[in-house]
Each structure stands twice: as structure tokens, then as C-alpha cells.
Chains A and B, each alone.
Chain A
Amino acid sequence: MDQVSLPPRALYAAAIEALTGRIVRALTGSDDAFRLGEGLVDDDELAGLAAVRVLGPDVLTPYTVGASRLNTQDAEVLVAAFTAFPGTDHPVASVPAWRDWATAQWLNNLGVDRAISDSVATYSAGSTTYEDPWAGWSDTQMSWQDWSSLLAQLAPLATPGMGSPVHQRALNRMLDTARGATRAVLRGDHLTAAQLARWLVAILGLTPGPGVLTVAPLLRHLELIGGGDLKMQLHIAVARAAIPTGPLDESR
């Protein structure tokens, strides 16, 4: 295979920033006709495709929780991104493998042509196409710190309609997740806090169980003091979009 000449790091960072911003706008309502491929090739196609891989399943959030409709061209952008940056070197049971798995799941759920989702799965981490990347996974040895760190990395899975073994365990580890979110705020790590708040909304909605965090004020707090980090804003936007009814109840 020919050596691809990679664009400089700054170009990657700019491409990630640009794509993240477009997704945030799509989710917050000022862009209801999100096209994944749009603008990706303006500066450097490879950087654009890399951005798609970095954001993982979150590039589909305008279609899964937002109002945009996925079309074949959008799906083919994903195939191109997976082809350019396959995840096949990643271990089977790893965060990249689970994120790739989630992308393929979404493509299926969104009803794209099976050939497209299959080809994404083929380039996924650890794949032979239908290998279960969750086989043998267990969280029983994880402290609340380890658990919440893992969950933060898997925030792109915390999207309504997605299910996984992590979701099942998250139902039983709400307190550990809330502890992780609390710890992140106290450490000034607003990105991790937003990732875990997104999980809390995905699993719990906004109704707190006893001893469990109320999420609405946390989301608002992060929005107002978390600074301009677009990645953080993306997680908050997905969390807000996942809330089924109306404005957040701030009363509790």
C-alpha cells in the first residue's frame, strides 16, 4: 500500500473542531439539514475523514437524536473514513472497538444499505465482521473511578436507542457514574463531567433516584461555566436532545 502523506496536526485539529461545531449546531437547532460530507473536503479530505473517525458514533447524532435524515451519501462518508483509517489494529475488547461497533449498530438502526454497514464493520476495530466485541467484558473489578473513566470514554454510546452491555451495567452503577461526574466537576474536568452527565441522562433521564445526582442543574452549570470547549458542548447538546419532554425541570 502506498504511504499516505498525512496532513499536519493543526489541520487535523481544525477539521475536528469544524465538524464538532457543525454537529453542535445541528443538535441545537440552528442547522436542521446536516450533511456529514459537507465541507469535509474543503481543506483536506484526509483530515476531514480523520475527524469523522475521531468523533466516532457522534457524527451520527444529528440523525439519531437530531432532526436530520441520513442519506446514502452521508453513509458513504463513513465508509470512506473507515477505509482511510481502519480500526482493525485495535484489540477486540477496547474503547475504539466498542465505538466502532456502535457506529455500525447505528448505521443498521438508521436503515442504511446492509452493504454499507457491513463494510464499516469490516474496517472496525478487532473485527471479523460479526465478532462480539463485548465477549468476556466485565466491570466487576472496576472501582467507581475506573468505571466512570471508562464510561466517559464511551460517551458516544450514551445516545437514546443504543443498547449495550455497558448500558445494562450502567443501570446498576448509577451512583458510581454520578460520583465520577461529581469528581470531574471538582477537578475542573468539564469534558468528562459532560460525558458522564450525558450517560446519566441516557440511563436515568432527569428524575433522580435517592442518593443520585439531579442532572438538570449539572448540565446548566457546565453550559455556563464549562467554557467554550466544543466537545463538551456536543455532549451537553446530545444530553439535552435526549430529554424526552420540553425544557429541563430546574426545580429540583
Chain B
Amino acid sequence: MNSIDTTGWSTSAHQIGERAWRWLEVHYRQFELPSDVPVGELDAVRHLKPIAELALVGSIATREGSLGRHAAGVAETLMEFGWAQLRGGDLLVDLLRERPFDTFALESYVSFVRAGRRHGELEALLAHLTTLRSARVPEHPPNRTLAVLNAQRLVGLDAAWDPSVVLARTWLGATPEPWAADLATLYAMTHTVFHLTDFGARPRGLPSELQDYLGAWLPVWLDVYLEAGHWDIVAELLVVDLCLSEPTYPPGAWPRVAAAQLPDGMLPAEAWRDTRNPATRARNHYHSTVLAALAGTVAVARQLDSRRS
């Protein structure tokens, strides 16, 4: 059981990614913004977050180009869809006019920037907001501040903070007792890693002592949440592994996630959550399926480009 399986994980990763992209292709339209709700009343979680997350996985697939023509085509479709939903960025400007100090617009916009779409007026507004003293004292959880920081870097704004100072205030930055983890702290940890490395593009963004820490304890957290059938956090943890300088591609985990994935490509968020009700199915399980697409895409990319720094 100690020997590293060099092929089994890779077959599973391909399968997970390809199937998830098929599901996204069929279901993304369910996340159209309602036409009858004013911009200021759009709900961040219900309406805007799915658009941003579909764009995120689309932008990473566009960047990596690893999963073949079908996935690349769906990724482009998702970018077009999201950009159209945001009216080519105009909606984000409208959002900022309503709520100028909410960083959601920047955090969403960065995915479109990653995939080559830009909006001049929006960037002028974001640049102005970034210079405010107000922007220098974020009351966000530190891992969210890292999201803003990564977005500022990619958009080309002057970063308001030193990432190492912010990192020191995250859960991961404290190298906590690994048994003092729960879902809340682990999601904070995964996001810290995602934003420091830009979802695996730059593993060097994560200091080596934290890479060592994760190398020691990721296997345990994976084991516990695989046993629990909490596929959403499992997929996040697999992506964290892919963001390290030397991913381990946990050989026991990938086939189990592949086995949990439904034939249509949906990865259930949790093993115990209902997957049959057509009214709630996509909404309850899109996040884990986006992660499945992301994990499969980055896994294949890292396999092809394992020495990335």
C-alpha cells in the first residue's frame, strides 16, 4: 500500500475532469441571472457566486489547456456565458455603484481577466477604490484578503497589502495543530492555498514550510473526509495538493472520487445529500462539480508540467 500508483490516479483524474466538463456543458444555463431583479438586489450567494465560480473554472481551463478540445470548448462557452451575464463587465460597474466597497466585483472580474476579457471603466473604478485608505484596513477573513490580493495582482492594480503579513494571519499561516481542523478551518486553508498560488499556477507563492506542513497533514484530512463522503472538501483538498511544488497525487483518493461521481458527471457535494430532485440538484451540487472539473484540469496540467514553480 505504500507504493505510489503512478497510473491509477491519472486515469481517474482524466475521467473526473472530462465527465465534470460534460455536466457543466449541460447545466450551466440554469445559473442565468434573473432578468427581473435589479442589480442592487441580486443575491451574492444565490445569483452571483455561481456565475463567478463557473467563470473561475473556465478561466483556469483556458489557462491550462490540458483536458483536450471538448473541455476547452466548454470552458470558452462558460467564459462567454458569464461575460454575457455580466453584460461584458457593465453589471460589475453597476454593482460597484451600488456597493463600492464590496470586493466581490474584483474577485469575480479576475477570472475574466485571466481569460483575456477586460473592461476599462471597471478597472479605473477598481484602481480608484484600491487607493483608498479604506481598502488598506480590510475586515475580511485573511484568506479572503488573499483572494483580493491575488485579483489585484492579476488585474495589475497596486496591491494594498504584503501577502506574507496577511498569510501570517490565516489559519494555515499559524501551522495549527492538524487535529484542530474542521470544515470551516479547512475551507479557509484551501482558499489560502488557492489564492497564494493562483490555483496552482505559481506554487512558489506558498512558502516551503507551509508546503511541508501540508505534505504532512493533507493525507489525514483527505482520509477523514473521504471516509465521511464529503466530496466537496475532498475535491478542494485534491486541488490543494495540485498547488504544491511537488504534488503527491494521493493515489487512494482519486479513484474514490471517480467512483463517487455520477454517470452524468455530477460530483455530489456530500454522499448523503439528495441527488435526485431536479429542482435542487444543480444548485446543491454545482460547486463540487466545478471543483471536480478544476481538479481534473489542474491534475492533468501538473502531470504534463510537474516542474512548475
Contact = CB atoms under 8 A, between A and B. Distances in A.
A, B bound = yes
Interface of A: 140-146, 175, 178-179, 181-183, 185-187, 193, 210-214, 217-218, 221
B272 interface: no
Closest 6 CB pairs of A and B: A185-B179, A143-B1, A182-B179, A211-B216, A182-B178, A186-B224
B223 interface: yes
B255 interface: no
Contacts of A181: 179
A179 B220 contact: yes
Main SS of the interface on chain A?
helix
A141 B3 CA distance: 9
Contacts of B219: 144, 179
Contact of A213 (B1, B177, B223): B177
A20 B104 CA distance: 58
Nearest to A146: B1
Contacts of B178: 178, 182, 213
B2 interface: yes
Q: Of A140, A186, A217, which is in contact with the most chain B CB atoms at under 10 Å from its CB?
A: A186
A93 B245 CA distance: 41
Interface in B208-260: 212-213, 215-217, 219-221, 223-224, 227
A214 B216 CA distance: 13
Interface of B: 1-2, 177-179, 181, 212-213, 215-217, 219-221, 223-224, 227
A141 B2 CA distance: 6
Contacts, number: 49
B1 A186 contact: no
Main SS of the interface on chain B?
helix
B217 A141 contact: no
Contact of B217 (A179, A217, A221): A179
B2 A218 contact: no
Contacts of A182: 178-179, 217, 220
Contacts of A185: 179
14 contacts: A141-B1, A142-B2, A178-B178, A182-B178, A182-B220, A183-B220, A183-B223, A185-B179, A186-B220, A187-B224, A211-B212, A213-B179, A221-B177, A221-B179
A216 to B, nearest CB: 10
A176 B196 CA distance: 28
A142 B227 CA distance: 19
Q: Of A142, A185, A212, A217, which is in contact with the most chain B CB atoms at under 10 Å from its CB?
A: A185
A193 B224 CA distance: 14
Contacts of B177: 213-214, 217-218, 221
Q: Of A178, A182, A185, which is in contact with the most chain B CB atoms at under 10 Å from its CB?
A: A182
A14 B234 CA distance: 42
A178 B177 CA distance: 11
A152 to B, nearest CB: 15
Contact of B223 (A145, A212, A214, A217): A145
A183 B2 contact: no
Nearest to A186: B224
